[in-house]
Chains A and B, each alone.
Chain A
Amino acid sequence: AQSVTQLDSQVPVFEEAPVELRCNYSSSVSVYLFWYVQYPNQGLQLLLKYLSGSTLVKGINGFEAEFNKSQTSFHLRKPSVHISDTAEYFCAVSSSSGNTPLVFGKGTRLSVIA
């Protein structure tokens, strides 16, 4: 079974500053890793995913994440945030072998301050 720990429940950051949202996972098998964003009263939108290959993954809206197998981490970064990035961000994991469900972390609330 897999599990995900998002180390920060809330991250306030000033507009145009960089941000990193931390995610660690646990799994005994190879995994796929994901970051989703959820705006108020909406569903989940995929930001980016790691399946294999390059450990640096680029996603939408200027976000990127780096897969670190030795540290079992998949931290999300953006070099310069905007007010519109204010949202809830979820890290998720699934097994790469089979149709396993996504397992989500508890989320990190990113608040961008003007």
Chain B
Amino acid sequence: DAGVTQSPTHLIKTRGQQVTLRCSPKSGHDTVSWYQQALGQGPQFIFQYYEEEERQRGNFPDRFSGHQFPNYSSELNVNALLLGDSALYLCASSLVGVSYGYTFGSGTRLTVV
């Protein structure tokens, strides 16, 4: 049974560019959450998707947007990249209403130059 799959594992982008990160949830899970983990910091909640809608959002600017597809997979989009967006982006899947059952992917390492 595959866990959470994220792609790509690494990528390098230039300031001002746009990036899309992808996440496939664990089988049986219907909710996807995205976290940003800057170097030396704990993960920070970006937003959560359920039934193809953004349900909760952390303190991140509108440059960060997302999408969830009918098969529960999700994308994280970041526009107008800044150097400070360099981080490990983690995807976590869960079942709606079960706030103790998160499964994390291995993350996408984004470097903005």
Instruction: Find residues 39-75 in chain B having any chain A CB closer than 8 Å to their own CB.
Output: 40-45, 48, 50, 55-56, 58
The segment from A14-22, A69-77, A99-107 that touches chain B is A99-107
A99–B97 CB distance below 8 A: yes
Which of B45, B90, B104 is most buried by chain A, counting CB atoms within 10 A of its CB? B104
B43–A90 CB distance below 8 A: yes
**Chain A: number of interface residues, binned into ranges:** 20 to 34
Give chain B nearest CB distance to A12 CB in angstroms: 17
Give chain B nearest CB distance to A83 CB in angstroms: 22
Contact A43/B90 with A99-B96, A100-B99, A102-B102 known, Cβ cut-off 8 Å: yes
Number of A-B residue pairs, CB cutoff 8 Å, is 67
Contact A99/B31 with A42-B106, A44-B90 known, Cβ cut-off 8 Å: yes
Closest to A108 in B: B42
Closest to A91 in B: B42
B107–A43 CB distance below 8 A: yes
* A97–B22 alpha-carbon span in the complex (Å): 29
Q: Give the chain B neighbours of A99 by CB distance below 8 A.
A: 31, 48, 50, 55-56, 94, 96-99
B58–A101 CB distance below 8 A: yes
Q: Give the chain A neighbours of B25 by CB distance below 8 A.
A: none
* A104–B35 alpha-carbon span in the complex (Å): 10
A101–B41 CB distance below 8 A: no
* A51–B100 alpha-carbon span in the complex (Å): 8
Q: Does B24 contact A (CB under 8 A)?
A: no
Q: Give the chain B neighbours of A53 by CB distance below 8 A.
A: none
Which of B43, B94, B99 is in CB contact (< 8 Å) with A44?
A: B43
B104–A44 CB distance below 8 A: yes
Nearest 5 A/B pairs, CB to CB: A104-B42, A43-B106, A44-B104, A101-B45, A43-B104
A residues at B contact (CB < 8 Å): 4, 6, 32, 34, 36, 41-46, 49, 51, 90, 94-96, 98-107
B residues at A contact (CB < 8 Å): 4, 31, 33, 35, 40-45, 48, 50, 55-56, 58, 90, 92, 94, 96-100, 102, 104-107, 109
**Contacts A34-B100, A94-B99, A101-B99 supplied; 13 other A-B pairs, CB < 8 Å:** A41-B109, A42-B106, A42-B107, A43-B90, A43-B105, A43-B107, A51-B100, A99-B55, A99-B96, A99-B97, A103-B45, A104-B43, A107-B42
